[in-house]
Amino acid sequence: MGRAFEYRRASKEKRWDKMSKLFPKLGKAISIAVKEGGSGDPDMNSKLRSAILAAKAQNMPKDNIEAAIKRALGKDGITITEVNYEIKAPHGALFFVECATDNSTRTVANLKSYVNKFGGQMLTNNSLEFMFSRKAHFEISKENINDIEELELELIDFGLETLEVDGDIIHIYGDYTSFGTLATALEEKGLDVKKAALERIANNPVEFSEEQLVDIEKLLDKIEEDDDVQVVFTNIA
């Protein structure tokens, strides 16, 4: 199964380890979940529960999580909305950009400026929907799991589609609608969740040459640096 940015895993994770960028992005996701779910109680708000799980998987402190919830509940809090943009990058690479912003006019203007500078084309909404499949993705530690096949069979009832082992990490994939049930199952089993996220997986990943990737990454890196951008998914194999 193709994954977004697998070929860039080391550099991407190193960059996202910078807490000055990561925690604000997670905080936005929590705030959006509170607003959309209508509650600051994760027991009453499944989207918030999922956002908190994703934050905890990235070691976001409890105080930061609670602060994000309080900001969202405040009457004078800034309204943050989710908005997606689709981009055709150099050499035909495709970017699906998920944003969380309090000013969509600013966000789209920034993205257009990056595209104009580094090459590419802004696409109309829903142009790439059929090119990607939405999946729930969890990474758990293989430590203390004695029977992986048994775990796989147990998780099928909760929406598991694919289980892959990569060194000491087990990747668990399911349809995006199964995020909540899979998250609950993993939590109840007391498993060490390293990552919990909703992702868009390219249906037909494309191989690019090293020379092409240099051009593609110039635009990709600039987009990822934008404070309004939560995550970017591509069709890069």
Same domain flag for 197 and 212:
no
Is position 137 within any domain? yes
Distance of alpha carbon 212 from alpha carbon 220, whole angstroms: 12
In this structure, the answer to whether residues 108 and 14 fall within a common structural domain is no
In a shared domain, residues 191 and 214: no
Same domain, 147 and 178: yes
14 and 67 fall within a common domain: yes
Q: Report how far apart, in Å, the C-alpha atoms of 187 and of each of 8, 20, 57, 62, 103 are.
A: 29, 28, 11, 17, 36
Residues 198 and 136 in one domain: yes
Q: Is residue 1 part of a domain?
A: no
pTM: 0.82
67 and 10 within one domain: yes
Residues 104 and 126 in one domain: yes
Residue 233 token pair: 């998914």
pLDDT of residue 237: 92
Helix axes 19-37, 9-16, angle to 10 degrees: 80
What pLDDT is stored for residue 22 in this prediction?
Answer: 82
pLDDT of amino acid 43: 86
If one counts the domains in the chain, the total is 3
**Which of 73, 95, 122 is where one domain is finished?**
73
Q: What pLDDT was estimated at residue 8?
A: 54
Q: Is residue 67 part of a domain?
A: yes
Report d(CA 177, CA 14) in Å as an integer. 30
DSSP-based three-state secondary structure for 212: helix
The answer to whether position 124 is within a domain reads: yes
Which portions of the chain are predicted below pLDDT 70? Answer: 1-20, 75-77
3-state per-residue secondary structure call for 47-111: HHHHHHHHHHHCCCCHHHHHHHHHHHHCCCCCCCEEEEEEEECHHHCEEEEEEEECCHHHHHHHH
The residue range of the domain holding 167 is: 132-202
Same domain, 126 and 213: yes
| The last residue of a domain, from among 25, 41, 73 | 73
Whether residue 212 is found in the same domain as residue 126: yes
CATH number of the domain enclosing 215: 3.30.70.980
* Pair (209, 111) in one structural domain: yes
Q: Does some domain include residue 153? A: yes
Residue 13 C-alpha from the chain's centroid: 13
Question: According to the model, what pLDDT value does residue 20 have?
Answer: 59
CA–CA separation, 103 and 228 (whole Å): 9
Is 92 a domain residue? yes
Whether 126 and 208 share a structural domain: yes
End-to-end CA distance of the chain: 10
Tell me whether residue 208 is in a domain.
Answer: yes
Q: How far is C-alpha 75 from the geometric centre of its chain's CA atoms?
A: 28
The tokens for 162 are 């694919």
Is 163:155 a contact under the CB 8 Å cutoff? yes
Q: Please check whether residue 96 lies inside any domain of the structure.
A: yes
